[in-house]
A and B are shown apart, each in its own frame.
Chain A
């Protein structure tokens, strides 16, 4: 491992100043479960590590009725899925955060780090994409907000400019009669990288009509992405078996998977179809609507 400087600033301002001085040759350290492994393998060799865990803003998790959930970029997965408000209002976040690595990893790894790592397979990405989350980013020119859909640029690449850091994720309050579910496929029971992952959020209106649907996919394209056509097909229609089948097929058509050691592109498309349908049925079940399966 290359030598590096280590800093643990107490404020976002200090962190931004440190990152600016490093000219793009710095990395933020949250849980470190991706970064330290990458540094050991020589895939990343920053000259400066900015440990963000001593910045109170980045370790905050709170819920405000009007604004929704504010999730500091450094909060570890286990703290998130154990949080009573998250458990009550955002079951899809619980699904996603309890699938990240092992318990040992979940006690360190943060959602902020999972998103900033930019992996196409990031388990938390579909959940937050389906929740219409916003990223709050701080940089030398102050703060900016961007929809999470604009955050992923390519494998390992995010919209963060050099000198910028992710401060928090904002998730809007869940609408009445909404539900969410994240499922992924891996060849074993625990601890693996998704072959495909699907996160769905649905909002029901009167008479079981789908008021809104958001479907997001991981591991099946260079970046985690939304399946817009599948969502469109569901909006304004009753969430019945036919609609769900069509949404599954459209989601499968939306992805651009590669074939690799985990699965062929065709297999991944098939998985997206199946997982999309399953997440939609899981949402109906959460809402107390008996869906067929």
Chain B
């Protein structure tokens, strides 16, 4: 009886159920992050837990939509679907000031453009080297090397398969986690100790959670400078990768 009531609830209140599940995942992720003294890695842990759950569900159901293939958790498909995702991404642009963009100056804009293109090209080269031939797949994986947001946005715009989109998210997650871990270690060697370098750093790496985490572990005073340019990175990526990026890949690799 109890199980019936629960499954009925999840069936008729899918979205509410999904919000509860994701809240629980966030709680667990931040608990782990706090207990190892890496508060800022909470979101990276949560994403990893999400991917692990998708893996388990995929093994269990043999389906293609991860957790959403389990009837009880179908609502997660709604919460994590394209509509709400795009809606939330757009809202993060709020609070960005045009004058702050000007303050970041020419070098900030330059590092943004170089950062997006550099990561994209690296991702494209790796995709081609590892045998991807389709222009849509190559572009999506390249976009994943930009950030784990640009990857799926590009993938869904171009109609890439769920497998390739998952690969692009995984590439973005690898980038975000590595950024947090490596930054404090190599900061002295790359001269990451002043606002200009921090702005360049935010523009080149872009992954907002990675940059905020990495800078906080290096020198908290640098966080706003890096986060400033990083905020524009995903926007620039979603703007130029599915358009100019895809066009270039299509011309070169057919």
* Chains A and B bind each other: no
Seen from chain A, the residues whose Cβ lies within 8 Å of a Cβ on chain B are none
